[in-house]
Amino acid sequence: MLEPMGAFNIMEHMAKIPDLYFGGDMEAAIPLSGQVAGRIDEVKSAAEIVQDTVGEFYQAVNRLADSYKN
């Protein structure tokens, strides 16, 4: 049977969060990933993300332009 380990103070584990996010110390605090973590299905470089975003932008602009031609 599991025994309780005592009180858990979440703020104690979040005190060094700037060191985690701005200093890169992965042991400084509990990283927060939120619900979006379940939506990540591939890892891309920043260049790939920018290229994909710009490409999708031009596709959307072309669709809008086509809708005004008709």
Q: What is the pLDDT of residues 35-65, one digit of tens each?
A: 777 888 899 999 999 999 999 999 999 999 9
* Per-residue model confidence (pLDDT) at position 62: 96
For residue 1, pLDDT over 70 is answered with: no
pTM of the model: 0.47
Which residues 6+ apart lie within 8 Å of 16 measured at CB? 25, 28, 29
Q: Which residue, chain included where needed, has tokens 């975003």? A: 53
Query: What is the C-alpha separation between 17 and 11, in angstroms, rounded?
Result: 10
